[in-house]
C-alpha cells in the first residue's frame, strides 16, 4: 500500500472512446463507407441495393451479438456469413482493402491529455497494454492507425479481439495481455468506457475504472450503457486526474520479473 492505495504494476486500456475518438460527422462518414465496402461486392453478385442494405444490417447485428457473448467475428467471418446468405463468392480481400482505406483516411483524435498521462504512467514503471474489441475494421487497419497516432510505442502488448479470437467481456483477452506485460491480475487495472470493460476486467481478477472523458463524442447508446456500471467503480473524466500516488511504482526488488523501466 501507498498512502492507503494499492500499488499498480500494469494498466490495460481500451481503444475507442478511451484513447481515441471521432466526431459524430466523421463517424457517420465512416459508417457510410463501411456499408459501401460491403455493398459493392454484393451488387457485383447481383444483390439489389435494398437487399444489400438489409444483409449488411443483419450481419452487423449478428457480429455485435456474438461479440457481446465473447466471440470475435473477423472480416473473414463476416464475409463467410454474407456468402452463405447470397449463395455466391464475395471478394473478401477487396472488402478488407476498402475498410483499411476508410480508416486510413479517417480523422481520429487522441482523447485530451492522453500523451501526458501515458508518459506519467510509464515514468512510474507501470507497464501498459491495450485491450480492444474490433468489429468493423481489419486488425491491420487498427495497427496502422496506432502507428499514425504514435500510440504503438507506449504499449508492451496490443491485444485486438479480431486477432485474438475472443472479445470483451471474455476475461481471456485481459489475461493474455497481462501475461504479455508480465503483470499479475491483482496488481493491474483496466480502464475502458463500457460495461464490458468493467465486467471483463473484474472476471480476470483486475481492478477497473470507467473513462467518461469522451462522452460528448460517443454514441448515445454507449452513454446509456455507462449508467449500468456500478457507482463504486471509479470514473475518470480527465486524464490529468491520473497521477501518482494513485498509481505508484512497485517497491524495488519485490519481483525482478516485473520491476524496472520498460524498454522502447
Q: Helix 92-105 vs helix 75-86: angle between axes, to the nearest 10 degrees?
A: 130
Q: What is the mean pLDDT of residues 161-181?
A: 97
Q: Is the peptide bond before 87 cis (omega within 30 degrees of 0)?
A: no
Q: Is the pLDDT of residue 257 over 90?
A: no
Instruction: Determine the pLDDT at residue 183.
Output: 96
Instruction: Determine the pLDDT at residue 14.
Output: 98
Q: Is the pLDDT of residue 72 over 50?
A: yes
How sure is the predictor about 93, in pLDDT bands with cuts at 50, 70 and 90? Answer: very high
Half-sphere exposure of 70 (CA within 13 A, CB side): 9
- In whole angstroms, what is the distance from residue 41 CA to residue 205 CA? 44
CA distances from 229 to 34, 76, 95, 210 (A): 30, 33, 36, 8
How is the chain classified by DSSP, letter by letter? -BTTB---SEEEE-SBTTTEE--HHHHHHHHHHHHHHHHHHHHHTT--HHHHHHHHHHHHHHHHHHHHTTB---HHHHHHHHHHHHTS---HHHHHHHHHHHHHH---EEPTTHHHHHHHHHHTT-EEEEEE---SS-HHHHHHHHHHTT-GGG-SEEEEHHHHSB-TT-HHHHHHHHHHHT--GGGEEEEESSHHHHHHHHHTT-EEEEE-TTGGGS-HHHHHHHTTS-TTSEEES-GGG--TTSS-PPPTTS-TTT-SPPP-
Q: What is the mean pLDDT of residues 26-47?
A: 95
Q: Which fold has domain 10-22+109-241?
A: Rossmann fold (3.40.50)
Query: Which residues are paired to 109 by β-bridges?
Result: 21
Half-sphere exposure of 158 (CA within 13 A, CB side): 17
- In whole angstroms, what is the distance from residue 172 CA to residue 178 CA? 10
Instruction: Determine the pLDDT at residue 8.
Output: 86
Instruction: Determine the pLDDT at residue 255.
Output: 36
**Beta sheet of 157-160, edge-to-edge order:** 157-160, 127-132, 10-13, 188-192, 207-211, 234-236
Instruction: Determine the pLDDT at residue 3.
Output: 41
Q: Is the pLDDT of residue 251 over 60?
A: no
How sure is the predictor about 245, in pLDDT bands with cuts at 50, 70 and 90? Answer: very low
Q: What is the mean pLDDT of residues 231-238?
A: 92
Q: Is the pLDDT of residue 61 over 70?
A: yes
Grid cell 456469413 in the structure block, residue: 81
pLDDT tens, position by position, 9-29 = 999 999 999 999 999 999 999
Instruction: Determine the pLDDT at residue 7.
Output: 77
* Residue 259 contacts residue 253 (beta carbons within 8 Å): yes
Instruction: Determine the pLDDT at residue 243.
Output: 65
Instruction: Determine the pLDDT at residue 155.
Output: 98
pLDDT tens, position by position, 99-125 = 999 999 999 999 999 999 999 999 888
Q: Is the pLDDT of residue 51 over 70?
A: yes
Q: What is the mean pLDDT of residues 153-176?
A: 97
Amino acid at each position: 500500500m501507498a498512502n492507503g492505495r494499492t500499488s499498480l504494476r500494469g494498466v490495460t486500456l481500451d481503444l475507442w472512446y478511451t484513447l481515441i475518438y471521432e466526431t459524430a460527422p466523421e463517424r457517420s462518414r465512416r459508417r457510410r463507407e463501411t456499408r459501401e465496402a460491403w455493398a459493392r461486392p454484393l451488387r457485383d453478385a447481383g444483390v439489389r441495393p435494398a437487399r444489400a442494405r438489409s444483409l449488411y444490417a443483419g450481419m452487423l447485428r449478428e457480429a455485435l451479438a456474438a461479440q457481446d457473448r465473447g466471440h470475435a467475428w473477423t472480416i473473414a467471418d463476416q464475409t463467410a456469413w454474407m456468402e452463405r446468405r447470397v449463395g455466391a463468392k464475395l471478394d473478401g480481400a477487396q472488402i478488407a482493402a476498402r475498410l483499411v482505406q476508410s480508416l486510413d483516411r479517417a480523422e481520429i483524435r487522441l482523447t485530451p491529455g492522453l500523451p501526458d498521462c501515458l508518459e506519467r504512467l510509464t515514468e512510474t514503471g507501470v507497464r501498459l497494454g491495450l485491450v480492444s474489441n474490433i468489429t468493423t475494421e481489419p486488425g491491420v487497419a487498427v495497427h496502422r492507425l496506432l502507428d499514425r497516432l504514435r500510440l504503438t510505442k507506449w504499449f508492451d502488448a496490443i491485444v485486438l479481439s479480431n486477432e485474438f479470437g475472443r472479445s470483451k467481456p471474455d476475461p481471456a483477452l485481459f489475461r493474455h495481455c497481462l501475461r504479455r506485460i508480465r503483470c499479475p491480475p491483482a496488481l493491474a487495472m483496466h480502464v475502458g468506457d463500457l460495461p464490458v470493460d468493467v465486467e471483463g476486467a473484474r472476471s480476470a481478477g483486475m481492478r477497473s475504472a470507467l473513462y467518461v472523458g469522451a462522452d460528448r463524442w460517443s454514441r448515445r447508446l454507449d452513454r446509456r450503457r455507462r449508467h449500468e456500471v456500478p457507482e463504486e467503480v471509479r470514473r475518470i473524466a480527465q486524464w490529468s486526474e491520473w497521477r501518482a500516488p494513485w498509481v505508484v511504482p512497485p517497491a524495488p526488488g519485490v519481483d525482478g520479473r516485473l520491476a524496472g523501466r520498460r524498454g522502447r
